Amino acid sequence: MGGGAPVSVQSMTTTKTADVDGTLAQVYALAAAGADIVRVTCNNVDAARGLAAIVPRSPVPIVADIHYQYRLALAALEAGVQGLRLNPGNIRKPDQIRAVAREAKDRRIPIRVGVNAGSLDRDLLKEYGSATPEALVASALKEIGYLAEEGFDDIKISVKHSHVPSMVDSYRLLSETVHFPLHLGVTEAGPLPGGLIKSVAGIATLLLEGIGDTIRFSLTADPVEEAKAGRQLLEYLDLRERTGLDLIACPSCGRAEVDVLALAAEAQAKLEEAELPIQVAVMGCVVNGPGEARDADIGIAAGRGKGHLFIEGQVVRVVQEDEMVEALLDEARKLVEEGAEARMAAADAGAEEAAARDRRQLLEIQGDANDIRSRQAKVSEIAARP
């Protein structure tokens, strides 16, 4: 993590850690959804014992989440975890923090200094008046100081806030102050869709500024949704290689001859089930669709009773309306297996000509909704004036 490593996705289990099988089932589900690291609570002795059975069977690194009881951090290290998260707001005794640092150093296990606006040290709250960005960064620096006294520097840091602008400002300030890897998140973001919007607003802003090495969407939802959202965000920002479906679709308009929303939903469900790592466009209009979505790997544009199936903007098949989704799914599978060049070479004879006829017919029926020809004529007239 950090340096040139890819930005990683984290999530956290919601099970009781003592329930080994239940926790492992959720860990595997999170890993399948795109989580690179999973955090598991270690809040009592039974949880620590559970970790000893969970860690060796986990498909991804396990981080133990520690609150209040530093001895549970020591127990988690003994259980074999690959990381610790310590909250400076509730493990406050320097000698306890140093004891954890010594043990983690001996085992070469990293520690995340997990500052949270909702559990900030009371002394810092008194000094700064509230959970300001300066207060959050001061909390992180104070904790780092204790770790440094033990020669421990295998550190990552988070300064999470539930207020998006404060979260962004906190990480900006932190990135200017330290050079450790940063874990990004909007804490207590809440349920969907608001929690998703808040998380994207904060996390994406920072990632696009080059800030952040690992992320978590803290949603009031199934944690699998956190992992999916985190992975998708990184793929959309070109920070991770695409491993799943990226479906783009027009918002529909009066020109559409089909229910674009229903068509997109059906296509997304079947393509996601097929687990195809491509970008797919679902467009409601054969007149503009293939051209507007030419950057997609593959797409379908709907006309009157027909659909134009295209690859990188080139129409390769014209199919009946009731066959559009199945045709799209079939061609998408072949595209992944054979590549775009081979599939365009295998295009149906006359597909482009048939598509052009459909576009002309639809324009004759519907007219030029954007009045493009008359506008172009006027533009030419104005440009030609002396």
Residue 254 confidence (pLDDT): 66
Q: Are residues 257 and 226 in the same domain?
A: no
CATH of the domain at 210: 3.20.20.20
Q: Are residues 254 and 134 in the same domain?
A: no
302-354 pLDDT tens trace: 877 889 999 998 999 999 989 999 999 999 999 999 999 999 999 999 998 98
Structure tokens at 104: 């983690």
Residue that terminates a domain, selected from 207, 236, 265: 236
DSSP 3-state assignment of 210? coil
CATH of the domain at 302: 3.30.413.10
Residue 304 confidence (pLDDT): 79
96-136 pLDDT tens trace: 999 999 999 999 999 999 999 988 988 999 999 999 999 99
Rounded Cα distance between 19 and 49, Å, is: 10
Q: Are residues 223 and 356 in the same domain?
A: no
For residue 386, being part of any structural domain is answered with: no
Q: Are residues 134 and 46 in the same domain?
A: yes
pLDDT surpasses 80 at 22: yes
Reported as a pLDDT band with limits 50, 70 and 90, residue 193 is: very high
Q: Are residues 169 and 255 in the same domain?
A: no
pLDDT surpasses 70 at 368: no
Which residues are within 8 A (CB) of 137 and not within 5 positions of it... i.e. 6 or more apart? 115, 159, 170, 173, 174, 177
Say which residue, 253 or 259, is predicted with more confidence: 259
For residue 280, being part of any structural domain is answered with: yes
Q: Are residues 163 and 221 in the same domain?
A: yes
Q: Are residues 265 and 158 in the same domain?
A: no
Q: Are residues 229 and 311 in the same domain?
A: no
Min mean pLDDT across 89-98, 126-135, 249-258, 353-362 is at 249-258
- Residue 282's domain spans which residues? 246-366
Which whole number is the average pLDDT over 353-358?
88
Q: Are residues 108 and 212 in the same domain?
A: yes
First to last CA, the chain: 63
Which whole number is the average pLDDT over 175-186?
97
Which whole number is the average pLDDT over 139-152?
96
Calculate what percentage of the chain has a pLDDT beyond 90.
75
For residue 49, being part of any structural domain is answered with: yes
For residue 379, being part of any structural domain is answered with: no
Q: Are residues 256 and 117 in the same domain?
A: no
DSSP for 71-124? HHHHHHHHHT-SEEEE-TTT---HHHHHHHHHHHHHHT--EEEEEEGGG--HHH
Q: Are residues 124 and 228 in the same domain?
A: yes
User: How many domains does the chain fold into?
Assistant: 2
Min mean pLDDT across 262-271, 336-345, 371-380 is at 371-380
pLDDT surpasses 70 at 270: yes
Q: Which residues pair with 320 in a beta bridge?
A: 306
Which whole number is the average pLDDT over 73-91?
94
Mean pLDDT, rounded, of the chain: 92
Reported as a pLDDT band with limits 50, 70 and 90, residue 370 is: low
For residue 274, being part of any structural domain is answered with: yes
pLDDT surpasses 90 at 39: yes
pLDDT surpasses 70 at 288: yes
Structure tokens at 372: 């493009």
pLDDT surpasses 70 at 369: no
Q: Are residues 218 and 175 in the same domain?
A: yes
For residue 70, being part of any structural domain is answered with: yes
